[in-house]
Amino acid sequence: MSPCVRDAVLETLQGHTKLLSELLPERIEELQGSVDALRFLREFVGPSKPVVVRGDVAVARWPALSRWKDQAYLNHALRDADVTVALTPDGLADAVSADGAFFMLPAEAKLPYRTFVDMLRRQRPVVYLQKQNDSFASEFGPISGDVGRLPWADAAFGGASNLDAVNFWQGRTPTKTSWHRDPYENVYVVLRGRKRCRLLPMTDGYRLQIKPYRQAEWRYENGTFSVHPCESVDREPVVPWSSIQPCSCERDSYGVQRSRRCASCTTLADHPPKEVTLNAGDVLYIPAFTYHELAHDPVDASDDTDAESSSSSTIAVNFWYETQYGHHGFATATTFDRLSAL
């Protein structure tokens, strides 16, 4: 392809990003307390716009919102449970290595839940409960009754017949995700602590500098991590992933930035990602194929409800609903992926 054609493609992509930034609200829209399913479909699902629901009335009735504040309750309820623990040296799982050589998967270990809590206190190595594929049902049965459903999301996405997975997440700083997207309608609910999420449109892949990376996994033995390239036939040998490292800006306990912009924020400064902080009881809708990264936000000592682990950990569940591949989102994401590749 000639340089002039490449320049024309890039100019088109940049023009689209600029147009979106002018047409869409400056901040992620917020609703308070309750959601009308028809409005949700019309104003957010249809145009693939994220939305935050503060203090969702359905979540407010879930026992988890009060019970899970007490780590002792979880320790007792899950005393016989073995959970899949992700282990990394730096809190980055499913991310490009610092030297840019590999796309790294975490080491994994099946451990008693209480062992995970003890490791979480030390964070050496950094541990995180991040197993997907319906981990809440498969590994957290004793507390599954503490979480209910979101009627407005069920009504919009077709209920249980289209609910592919409910996942359980627990961790604390420095755990964070890299820029990624999911082929699901993602409804993310924080039930303890605080999470910070940054989002970019599905059409902004070209800004994330996606490159092919060989896949590798961390191994953790005798207190030491080592890198092992994946040779298994059931693993993709090459993974396309963003080469931009996650945001590393320091923030205070209220989410206010305390340092100069990190490399990630500087790279995306022309049209910054939309950012939102979620507190316990808040719900975030992330449309299918929308790019996002999440990080744990610090919690004030006065709000420390997890004294047993020395520092509050954040707990969330998310609901993955099947996306409609006949919907414009999939076609749009695929088309812009091809343009970005050019």
Q: What is the pLDDT of residues 130-165, one digit of tens each?
A: 998 899 999 999 999 999 999 999 999 998 899 999
- The average confidence (pLDDT) of the chain is 90
Element (H, E) at 338: helix 328-341
Q: What is the pLDDT of residue 259?
A: 62
pLDDT digits (tens, 9 = 90+) for 73-97: 999 999 999 999 999 999 998 999 9
Q: What angle do CA 112, 118, 119 make, to 5 degrees?
A: 90
First to last CA, the chain: 8
Q: Residue 243 in contact with residue 210, Cβ under 8 Å?
A: yes
Residue 50 one-letter amino acid: P
Asked if 280 contacts 262 with a C-beta cutoff of 8 angstroms, the reply is no
Please tell me the least confidently modeled range out of 47-56, 282-291, 293-302: 293-302
Question: Which pLDDT band holds residue 328 (cuts at 50, 70, 90)?
Answer: confident
Q: Is the pLDDT of residue 302 over 70?
A: no
Alpha-carbon gap, residue 172 to 132, rounded angstroms: 18
- Main-chain phi, psi angles of 170, to 5 degrees: -145, 130
Flag the least confident range among 48-52, 57-61, 299-303: 299-303
pLDDT in tens, 257-292: 656 678 888 889 899 999 999 999 999 999 999 999
What is the C-alpha to C-alpha distance for residues 142 and 26, in angstroms, rounded to an integer?
Answer: 42
Give me the mean pLDDT over the 221-248 stretch. 85
Sign of CA dihedral 21, 208, 239, 249: negative
Q: How far is CA 34 from CA 15, 23, 39, 102, in A?
A: 36, 26, 11, 44
State the Rg of the chain over Cα. 20
Residue 303 has pLDDT above 50, yes or no: no
Which residues, other chains included, contact 339 with Cβ-Cβ below 8 Å and sequence gap of 6+?
9, 12, 13, 206
pLDDT of residue 230: 87
For 190-242, the DSSP string reads EEESEEEEEEE-TT-GGGGTEEEEEEEEEEEETTEEEEEE---TTS-SEEEEE
- In this prediction the pTM is 0.91
pLDDT of residue 72: 96
What pLDDT sits at residue 325? 75
Question: So what's the pLDDT on residue 318?
Answer: 97
Identify each DSSP E strand in the chain by its residue range.
Answer: 29-32, 51-54, 82-88, 95-96, 102-105, 107-112, 126-128, 163-171, 184-192, 194-200, 210-221, 224-229, 238-242, 274-279, 283-286, 291-296, 314-322
For residue 310, the model assigns a pLDDT of 38
Strand partners, 165: 320
Which of 199, 203, 201 has the alpha carbon at shortest distance from 12?
203
Predicted confidence at residue 307, as pLDDT, reads 43
pLDDT of the residue at 308:
44
Percent of the chain scoring above 90 in pLDDT:
71
CATH class for the domain made up of 3-341: mainly beta
Residue scoring higher pLDDT (199 or 160): 199
What's the pLDDT at 311?
45
Give pLDDT, residue 227: 94
Backbone angles phi and psi of 143, in degrees to 5? -115, 10
**pLDDT attached to residue 243:** 92
